[in-house]
Every structure is written in C-alpha cells, then in structure tokens.
Structure 1
Amino acid sequence: MGIWLLLLLCAAVRSNAQNDTSARRQNDTLDHQSKRSLININDIFHQAMNSISRNPGDTIDESKLLLAKSEEAYYRYAGRYVRHIIIAQLGFEKKLSDTTSFLVTAGTKIYNHLHVNTRDWVIRDNMFIKEGEEVNPYEIADNERYLRTLDFIQDVRILLKPVKGHRDSVDLIVVSKDLFTITGSIDASGVQNVKATGADANFLGMGQRLQFSTLWAQNRNPAVGFEALYRKQSIARTFINATIAYSQINNGRIDGREQEDAYYFQLDRPLVSPYSHFAGGLLVSHNQSVNVYHKPDSIFYDYAYNIYDGWLGYNIGSKLLPHGQTPISARNRIFIATRYYNIHYEKPPFQIGDSYDPIYNSKKAVLGSVTFFRQDFYKTQYIYGFGTTEDLPYGYSVTGTAGWTKQLNLERPYLGVNANRYIASGAGEFYQFFAQGGGYYNQGASQDAILLLGGSIFSRLFEFDRLKMRQYFRFSYTRMYNRVTNAPLRINNQYGLNDWGPDSVMGDRRINVYTELVLFTNYRVLGFRMAPFVYGNAVMMTPEQQPIGKSDIYTGFGGGIRTNNQNLIFGTVELKAMYFPRTAYGQKEFRVTLNSNIRFRYPSNYVQAPDVVQYNNNNYVF
C-alpha cells in the first residue's frame, strides 16, 4: 500500500512539475528543433550498432549481441570537430538496442505516465565533451560509459553524424533511456518488526535522489524511527556529488551490533576519465549508539564517535589527447593522491577498554599513493545484467601506498601495493588477476601483514536457441602474518563462503575456490526476466598460529533464480537455496535466502582513495 501511495504522490508532483516547466521545455524544443531536424535517430543508431555488434544470430531481445571496444565506433571521426551536442531520450516502450521496436504494455504505459524524464541539462552536466572540441574516440567512449554509471540511467549511446557540407565537423547525439526511478521496499520480520523505504533516484528529473525510511518495532522505544537522505549528482557540472543524511535506524559499525543515531555529509568526485585532472572525496559523520531495545548495560555497547575523512588526487598525463588509433601507450597514466582520516571515539564502549579492536578503537592515518594505470573498456552484455550494456575493462593498475597510522596509542608506518591485470579476449572472455600486499612496521618487525592473491574469469557467452549461458570462476589465497591489531581472516565474505551466517570460522590462512553457472532466459513475468543459476564453493581455513596440516575445509553448494526488470531502478531479486555439508557453531546445514535490490555491477573506477589492504571484503574483484 505504501509504495502505491508514493507512486500517486509522485504522479501529482510530476503533473505540477510539468505545468511549471512546460514553457522551458517548449523553449528547449525550439532551441533544438533545427538541430533535431538534421538527424534521423533510427538510421544513425542502426549504423552505429552494425559497426560495433557481433553474433548476428542472436534471437533473444537484442537483435545483435554487443562485444566491441568502446572507442571502436568513433575512430573514423577522429580529428573532426563537434558542432552541436543533441540530447535524445527514449521512452520505456523502446529498446536502446533497436529504436524501431516497441513493447507497449500496461507497465510501460504506467512508467511513462508517472516518470519525469531526465532534463537535458542534467545530461549536459554529466558531459565532459564540449561543442567545438576535436573528436577524441577514447574520450567520447569514456563519457558514454560514465553516463551509464548514473543510477537513474538504464543505458546510453553516443552517436556521431557527419555534417553535410562540412567535412571537418560532426554532430554528437546522446541517446539515453531512463530507469523508472520511483522505488520502495518493505522488510518485515514477522509482525513485530517492519521497515519500509521509499525513494526517487531522479526526483523531478533533476539528477537528485530523495529517500525516506521508517522502522517500526514492537520492542523498540520509541517504537518508530526514521531516516532521510538527499543526494545531488554533478553539482553545477563539476562532477562533484553531494550527499546529506540523518538516521535514527542506522546499523552500527560494520557488525551492526547496535542501532545508531547518525548524520553525515559527503562529497565525492570520481576520476570520470583518464583525461580528467582531479578526483577526491570528503566525509564528515557523527554516530552514537542508542539503547532502543533495552539491553542490559553489561552487554549494550554505549559509544559515540566522529569520522573525518578526506582525500584528493591529481592525474598526471591527463592532457594527452590521442588522435585516431593512437598507440595504446598514450593512455598510460600516473595518479598521485593523499588521504587523511580520523575516526575518533568520544565515548568508546567500556567492554573494549584499552584493548586493540579493529572496529571500536580510535584511528587516524595519513596515507599517500601513486597509481600507474591504463584502462580501456569493452562493451558487452549478460555479465551481471539481463541484456543491457555493461562495461568491462582491459588493461592494468598498480598502486603503491605508504603512510603513517595510529590506533589507540600505537603509531606505525604502513607500506602496501595493489596490482591488477584485466584481460579481454576477442571471443568474449574476461579475466582479472590481482596481487595485494601490505603491512605495518614496529619495533624492528612487520605487523599485521597481509598477502592476497587471486583472480576471476567470465567465460564467453554460450548460446542455445533462445537461451544464453555464462560460466564464472573465482579463486584467491590470503595469508596473514603477526596479527596485532587487525581482525583475523574470516569466512563469511567473497574471499570465503559468502553465504555463511555467523562468523565462527577464523584463521590466518584462507584458500577459496568458487564457480557459478548462470542461464539467461527469455521468459518474463510482469516484465521481469529470469536467470536460474547453480554454484559450488570451497574454502580451506587454517586456525591462527597452526600449520597448514591443521586446516579445515568448508564447502557450500546451491542454486536459485535471479530476476530483474530492466526498466526499474529496483535491483536484482535473488532466491537462493544453499547446502553446507560441514557446519560450525551457529551455522545451519540448509539455508534459504531471499535478497532484494541487489546491485550487481562490475567495479569500473580508475582509481581509489589511498587505503590499506582490505582482506575481509571485496573492493576490486569481479
């Protein structure tokens, strides 16, 4: 009921917004009428798709399967100049893979009625290509990919059209398709605990997110808590994103042990292209645990802390502008960055006291890093998505990090390295290999040292009539040395058994192997595509300070089905059943989970903030 009320409210707001802005849209139409008359979107689109597509025998939704280098379609226009930038948007009844195809259903009619299209100026605020500039195939491909990362955009194509009578000029057409950005969810644990969330990720089509959540619990005092969030994308065309939020129902530090009152302000600017100069971020947060569930004082973690975290980096070589099929070395970059963070506990939990704890200790650090990278992309499909365009990198990234850290009264220098190699084959296989290592130095010896090695592979896409299948494989090896302040290696993460419940298995050596087979079907239920899958997972954990012969092996097997509606911002829904032949304390042999709003997306950031090696969570792996 709540989500329908939200939809009706947004429809009313949309109607008012359309009336208020109709004059502006008419002016925009007049301003671009002469430009739009120069193009035929369908003709240009089909020419572009023909130049970058493979496997014409594809029989599912897309007329052809994408598998091409992102910059490939723009080589022929290198050296020309951009005369006009024209924005064209598709409705929900059209497919970006074939603009002449229509799918008119009750759902698409509702989406089109309730949805406010992204304003043209919002698209322009996220463009780093400008009119009058020379065509750089790589930079245009970067901009197209960046637009696809916006959480209110389903897919984008940038097309170039030669200008008649001006052989040195082209018009640049941005063809985009929105997601239906009104979303909501209800999470009920019986009748005594209900959480409801409603959001619009593109409120009024202006690249801003509004989100509200409320939690009601019978044993909570007060019974109702709420949180609110506002986020603006690319403020004034700076590519700086701003977020402000307040919550009375925030989960506690990492482990979610306590519920918190929290508020924070965040700025972030990604490195949107190898031709961008700066990237950075800022986070200011205050958090305080609140005993809303009336726990005894002996077990309630009563604490308050502040977070101050800022970083800034500069991209050396960003002014290099290759023309045409320039040698790939022209894309090599060096990125230097520095970071300061301070997690200060005004009131630490008495249960921790002065002992070392990776979560509840005050920490501060000054870190610097140098990253050598070259990263280009293939456009493809059916990796995590259900047919929309996905961008997978090929190239390399090597980062060296050094700095000073303090935890409680322990001050230590830190040194680490993170190397990644990305490979894409012409047959549609994608590989990643990584090596990470780091540690602290104190009293003449290394402490809390980590070695993490591994890789992952996506097989080529196999096609069987109206079905598609892809195999995924991942492996990793993690070793910890001389642990002093850090947490031990855990099993319940993507370097172990990700579906394991309570984390009762720990150690200092971990070996993981995982494989998954996904079948993408053409079946739809109310617009939702179906993808059944099966998987197998095995982990060897060695208890701390024990020889490898004392290791234990844990396995997990299972399968399920994922479903997604490509028009909705609501993420993938996954129903999964698991079997664990060997269990530990608190872990059941069989487990069934239903997870909603899962965000499957390949991480495509060029650079990260300087950081220490993260070995119990996954920031870099497919």
Structure 2
Amino acid sequence: MRLLHCLFTRTTLLCLLSVLLLASVCHAQQEAGTSKKDSLKTTQTDTTRQKFDERVMSNLRQISQRKTIMGKLLKAVLVFDRRDEEVYGLDAELIERENERHNYKVVRHIEIKTLNAFGYSIHDTTRVPVNILEKAGNSLHMKTRQRLIRNKLLFKSFEYLEPLALVESERLLRQTSYLLDARVMVNEFTSTEDSVDIYIITKDVFSLGGSGSYSPSSGAGRVAVRELNFLGLGHQLRTSYRFNMERPRPWEFTSAYTIENIGNSYISADVIYANENFYKERSAYLRRDFFSTNTKYAGAVGTKWADEQILLPPVAADSLPYFSNIEYTRHEAWIGRAFKFKTYNLGFEPRARTIVAMRVINTNYSYSPSPSFQSNTLILGSLGYSVRRYYKDRFLFGFGRTEDVPAGSLFSFTYGYENGRLQDRFYFSTEGSFAKYSPAFGYFFGRAAYGSFIRNRNLEQGVLDLETMYFTKLSEWGNWKLRHYVLGRGTFGVNRFPEELLTINNESGLRGFRSDFVRGSKRLTINYEANLYTPFSLFGFRLATVAFADAAWISTGNKSSPLKTKPYTGFGIGFRFRNEYLSFSTIQILLNYYPKGPPFQDFNNVRIYQTSRPFYDFADFRFIQPGLAEFQ
C-alpha cells in the first residue's frame, strides 16, 4: 500500500480529526433538526451554529493548552487564529462596470508591489511574518520579479486604457502557477478626467515543491520535484522519477521545462522529455494562445518524437493484456486570427469573437502494428464563435483563494483533408458548449461534439462526445462550508479501428480504478462528490472531507448500448488538504470500495487511493486550435 512518505506522520492525526469532524456534523444536524426547514435562513439559527463552531474550536484550544502529549500535539499542528480573508468584488462583471469611467484614459504610472509567500496578506498590507517558520520559508523563496508582472499586463504607461484591460490583466496574473492572488486597481485619489495611475499587488506561492510515495512491501516508490518560479523569472521545471517498479524496466523518468511569456510577446516555450516503460517522448513547442478576450493572433509550431505501447484488441479467453509499439515523428504548425464586432459605445466592449484558424500536421510512422496507422499530412481549417466572461468565487477547487469561474459559449466547425501514404480521406467536426453561473444557483456547463473521417462516403474513426457538469451554490454553517458536484460524460465511438478502445480508469471513469481488461468503444460515466470545508488547519494545510460515488457503463460494438451492461461502481470517503501558499497540488487520500471487479484479474475491492490531480476542472471558452475530436 503506497503512502506519501512526506505525510506519513500526519495521516494518523487526520484520522483523529475525522472523528471530531463526524461528531461535529452529527451534533450540528441534531441541533438543526429541531427547527423548521425555512429556519435555516434565520439569524437565530445562524447564531446558534456559529456558537457551536466556536465551542468546538474552544474545546480543541483548551486541550492544546494542557501539558499532555495530545495537548502538545494539537498545539503544534492546529492553527486556531486563522481567519478567512474578506474578498471584495467577487463579481468580475461589477468590477468592470466600476472601472468604465476610466476607459480610454491615459495610463500615467504603474506601481507594482509583490508580496512573499508566507505571512503577508493581499487584503491586509499591514500583516507581516510573525514566526520563525514563515520567515525561514520566505528566506528560501525568491520573489517574483516586477518585470515578470509587468510583462503580463495588457496595458502600458503613456498609452490609452482599453476596456477589459484591468480585469483581464488581473485574471491572467491570478491564473499563473507561481502567484496565489493578484489585484489590479485604479488609484482613485490621483485619477483625473484624462489620466489614471494603476496600483498592482500580487502574492507569491512557495514555488519549490515536491511529492513522493513508497511501498515497504515491494520497495517501489516515486519522487517528484517541481520549481514553478525559477529565480523569480517564471520558468517552470517539473521532474518525476519512479524506481523498483514491477515492469520490464524498474525505473521511469520524466521532465518538462516551460518558459512563459518570452519578451512580453505572450509566446511560451515547452520542452518535454519522457522515458517510461510504455511511453517515450521528446518534444519542443513554441505557442501563443488566445490568452485574453482581446487577443488577435494565436498559433504554435513544434515537433515531437514518440514511442508508445497500445493495448491490442482482446481475444476470447485471453487472461493477459497484449501490447504493441507505435513509433512516430510529428511536425505541426497552426495560426489563428480573432475578429471582434464593431461597437460605437466607448463604455462597452463586446465579448463575442469570431475566429478563423488553419493547422498543418505531418505524421510519419516508423513502426505500427497495422495499416490503420498510416503516415499522413493533415490540413485542417476552423471557424469559431466565442463569448467569454469570468466571475470570481471561492471554495470551488481551492480552499478560500479567489478563483475565476468561466462562463459563456463556444461554437466551432472544422473541415480538413488527410493525404495518407495508403489512402486519402476527408474530415469534419463540430462542437458547441455553454456555461451559466450565479452565486445563488451555482454553475452549469454543457458540451456536445462530433467528429469523423470520411472515406468513400463512409464514416470512420468517428466519435460523439457529451459532457455536463453542475456544482451547487456554497452552503455555509458558520465556518463550515459545503458544496456538491455532479459530472456526467458520454463517449461513443463510430466505426473506430480495433486498436482504439476506451477505459474507465481513474479520471476516465472511476477514481482509483485500474484495469487493462475493462475496455470498449462506448462509455457513459456519472460522478458525484460532496466537499465539506472545515475550519481546521493541519501543519498549515486547510482540511476538507470528501464523499463520492462513481458509476461507469462500457460496451463494445457499433450497435451495442453501454446502458445494457451492468455498471462498474465506486464509492469512497477521504480527506483533501492543501496549503494555498505552497506549490503543492491539492493532496487527496481516499478510501475506495468497488462492488464489481474486472474479469480475468485478481482485484482488490477495497483500496486507498492517493492523488494530487483534481478530478474536476473548468472548461474555458477560448478557441484552442483546429484539431480532431478526441477519443480517450
């Protein structure tokens, strides 16, 4: 059983806190059950629950002040005086309206203030580090350089301030991996009728981080190191090493290096090296995305060499999976142009954009198991329509930090031609997605996409992809916060090649599930999750409890429906914790139960699943690039 070695001693204390948490929730439900349902909205009930939270924390504080082992342990690991920072202007649209009167004024001066990772507050500039741990952490961290912040801005000194430039610049800063939060504000005291001064404040995360795992029984383990802001320049390095693996080769190594926004051009460079048992890659790319709603040009150019093993179609009565190698080299380039609609209202910036783009991909296979993988040159052209808005909220995927919630719509149509070594064929795809958000309603997202090649008037390698996601509004009981998530996905292959099969492993279906025998060409999954954010802080890590239920249906064949098969299901509970000031991804430790196991395989129905990858994420409504509908 793999355990995160750097968190081994904390797991026992997490179990203790879980008992306290469950007792607290049950006691709160008993108090709330004596009143009517509509009384949840009354001030009296909120006050009662607030007093209950205060009693829980007061009892733990009293225990921590005792000279016992438990008292010393609680005092060392729990933070009692942490308070949630009040975040102003959670509605990005309202912020835009507040700054409308400054549109097209001349930017006179830009002042930038960067804060270190520990002990400082972006909302309270008087707060400073107070203990030796915060000061020691800051001494090991190099602050983000002001030049890097300035290069992210969509406005410059002595130029006119365009609409959306303030809120878009703030969002771009906040979405970087090396900044925890950012604020871009107009200095109202010095602004005039024709000019403004801009004040910018940012707060870093501790950019150096790592993770690891180790299994005492087998001696296998993993070590990962990441640096997200090398020397304060925004360069990112991620490495991972696995050892003593029960595979053809006992070790694996991957590394990726990224340079963002080279020379204020918003062009980024990526270099990737991967040497794994079943996948090898060497690649290099230069790219410029439609990073802002006002971006006119985007594109990329790059090359990639890959050698990967794919699962072959299952044969009747087989009890072992069979693999085959695919080795290829790929060169590609694309360019896109966005057009905005004209407006004669200087106080309003239209959000809609029309995008045209073209992409060329050349793929040469040096080895493949079948003629299905033919060397080819694929030319794609796309026409898209995008409307993008962003709102601000908290306690979505983070633990109280400001998060940008994308809403809007995206529609695209792609047509192309593949010149293959053996045969030629055409390609077409269409996609539509939309999302609505309201603090009182929550967030709803829907997406539908279909794409297929056409050869001799017959469809092949087609895929219909459906997705919907909903999360509720944030329910609050004092310092306890609860949110529910529901995700539904469907992937249906149409005349796919025999080597192309879907799985329900981990993020594809059931979290923590792993099997090479459960495969098919049609898949339907439903995932539910409830997150309860607690007021507890452990070693500076905010703590949340997680409960989830997953179901997945999978079938093979063009005429077979996945709903006619018995679903695979998974249920679980666990913990999620994160220190927002560190570069660590959110760490989850989940106890999973699977009632149904895969055939031809010894399967453990109960397991502990550890991951640092989020199961949910937002879909942005920016046009990415012309491409094929994904079947995965």
Shift of 1:200: 2.0
Shift of 1:73: 4.0
1:557 aligns with 2:584: no
How many Å separate the matches in 2 of 1:182 and 1:133? 37
1:399 aligns with 2:425: no
8 Å Cα contact 1:542/1:552 also seen in 2: no
Shift of 1:383: 0.8
Check 1:436–1:167 CA distance in 2 against 1; reply closer, same or farther (3 A cut): same
Q: Look up the equivalent residue of 1:133 and give its one-letter code.
A: E
Shift of 1:167: 2.8
How many Å separate the matches in 1 of 2:215 and 2:418? 41
Shift of 1:80: 2.8
Identical-residue share of aligned pairs (%): 27
Q: Match of 1:68?
A: 91
How many Å separate the matches in 2 of 1:274 and 1:318? 12
Shift of 1:600: 6.6
How many Å separate the matches in 1 of 2:487 and 2:232? 39
Match of 1:89 among 95, 111, 114: 114
1:465 aligns with 2:485: no
Q: Match of 2:286?
A: 267
Q: Match of 1:50?
A: none
Check 1:321–1:189 CA distance in 2 against 1; reply closer, same or farther (3 A cut): farther
- Gaps of at least 5 residues in structure 1 are 5-54, 252-256, 291-297, 617-622
How many Å separate the matches in 2 of 1:169 and 1:278? 29
How many Å separate the matches in 2 of 1:601 and 1:314? 27
93-102 or 576-585, which moves further after superposition?
A: 93-102
How many Å separate the matches in 2 of 1:227 and 1:513? 32
Shift of 1:274: 1.7
Q: Match of 2:333?
A: 310
Q: Does the residue aligned with 2:147 lie in a helix, a strand or coil?
A: helix
Structure 1, residues 393-433: CA drift from partner, whole Å, max 9, x if none? Answer: 12111011111236663432111111111111252511111
Q: Match of 1:201?
A: 228
Check 1:66–1:498 CA distance in 2 against 1; reply closer, same or farther (3 A cut): farther
How many Å separate the matches in 2 of 1:319 and 1:87? 33
Shift of 1:363: 5.2
Q: Does the residue aligned with 1:143 lie in a helix, a strand or coil?
A: helix
Q: Look up the equivalent residue of 1:573 and give its one-letter code.
A: I
What TM-score, normalized by structure 2, do the two folds share?
0.77
8 Å Cα contact 1:356/1:408 also seen in 2: no
Q: Match of 2:545?
A: 532
1:237 aligns with 2:264: yes
Q: Does the residue aligned with 1:202 lie in a helix, a strand or coil?
A: strand
Q: Look up the equivalent residue of 1:263 and give its one-letter code.
A: R
Q: Does the residue aligned with 2:496 lie in a helix, a strand or coil?
A: coil
Shift of 1:504: 2.5
Q: Match of 2:179?
A: 153
How many Å separate the matches in 2 of 1:198 and 1:140? 34
Q: Match of 2:304?
A: 285
Q: Match of 1:595?
A: 611
Q: Does the residue aligned with 1:268 lie in a helix, a strand or coil?
A: strand
How many Å separate the matches in 2 of 1:437 and 1:150? 32
Shift of 1:117: 0.7
8 Å Cα contact 2:505/2:511 also seen in 1: yes
Q: Match of 1:584?
A: 598
Structure 1, residues 516-553: CA drift from partner, whole Å, max 9, x if none? Answer: 11011121111111111111122233332454474222
What TM-score, normalized by structure 1, do the two folds share?
0.78
How many Å separate the matches in 2 of 1:474 and 1:600? 8
Q: Match of 1:133?
A: 159
Q: Match of 2:36?
A: none
Q: Match of 1:497?
A: 510
How many Å separate the matches in 1 of 2:172 and 2:542? 25
Q: Match of 1:568?
A: 582
Q: Does the residue aligned with 1:144 lie in a helix, a strand or coil?
A: helix
RMSD of Structure 2 on Structure 1 (CA) = 3.2
Check 1:63–1:405 CA distance in 2 against 1; reply closer, same or farther (3 A cut): same
Shift of 1:356: 2.8
Check 1:597–1:425 CA distance in 2 against 1; reply closer, same or farther (3 A cut): closer
Match of 1:425 among 427, 431, 438: 438
Q: Does the residue aligned with 1:505 lie in a helix, a strand or coil?
A: coil
Q: Look up the equivalent residue of 2:214 and give its one-letter code.
A: A
Check 1:225–1:400 CA distance in 2 against 1; reply closer, same or farther (3 A cut): closer
Structure 1, residues 557-593: CA drift from partner, whole Å, max 9, x if none? Answer: 1121111110111111110121122222234322211
8 Å Cα contact 2:90/2:391 also seen in 1: yes
Shift of 1:218: 8.2
8 Å Cα contact 2:495/2:558 also seen in 1: no
Shift of 1:299: 7.7
Q: Does the residue aligned with 2:170 lie in a helix, a strand or coil?
A: helix
Shift of 1:140: 1.7
8 Å Cα contact 1:65/1:380 also seen in 2: no
Match of 1:542 among 555, 566, 577: 555
How many Å separate the matches in 2 of 1:495 and 1:599? 9
How many Å separate the matches in 2 of 1:490 and 1:263? 26
Q: Does the residue aligned with 1:523 lie in a helix, a strand or coil?
A: strand
Q: Match of 1:612?
A: 628
1:123 aligns with 2:149: yes
8 Å Cα contact 1:212/1:226 also seen in 2: yes
1:514 aligns with 2:514: no
8 Å Cα contact 1:571/1:599 also seen in 2: no
Shift of 1:595: 1.6
How many Å separate the matches in 1 of 2:570 and 2:389? 35
Shift of 1:387: 0.9
Q: Match of 1:162?
A: 188
Q: Look up the equivalent residue of 1:461 and give its one-letter code.
A: L
8 Å Cα contact 2:388/2:621 also seen in 1: no
Q: Does the residue aligned with 1:205 lie in a helix, a strand or coil?
A: coil
How many Å separate the matches in 2 of 1:312 and 1:69? 30
Q: Look up the equivalent residue of 2:595 and give its one-letter code.
A: P
Q: Match of 2:211?
A: 185
Q: Does the residue aligned with 2:99 lie in a helix, a strand or coil?
A: helix
Q: Does the residue aligned with 1:490 lie in a helix, a strand or coil?
A: coil
Q: Does the residue aligned with 2:567 lie in a helix, a strand or coil?
A: strand
8 Å Cα contact 1:155/1:176 also seen in 2: yes
Shift of 1:457: 0.8
Q: Does the residue aligned with 2:167 lie in a helix, a strand or coil?
A: helix
Check 1:462–1:65 CA distance in 2 against 1; reply closer, same or farther (3 A cut): farther
8 Å Cα contact 1:66/1:380 also seen in 2: no
Check 1:211–1:312 CA distance in 2 against 1; reply closer, same or farther (3 A cut): same
How many Å separate the matches in 2 of 1:314 and 1:466? 47
8 Å Cα contact 2:358/2:382 also seen in 1: yes
Check 1:546–1:121 CA distance in 2 against 1; reply closer, same or farther (3 A cut): same
Shift of 1:103: 6.0
Check 1:62–1:73 CA distance in 2 against 1; reply closer, same or farther (3 A cut): farther
Match of 2:351 among 307, 326, 331: 331
Q: Look up the equivalent residue of 2:611 and give its one-letter code.
A: N
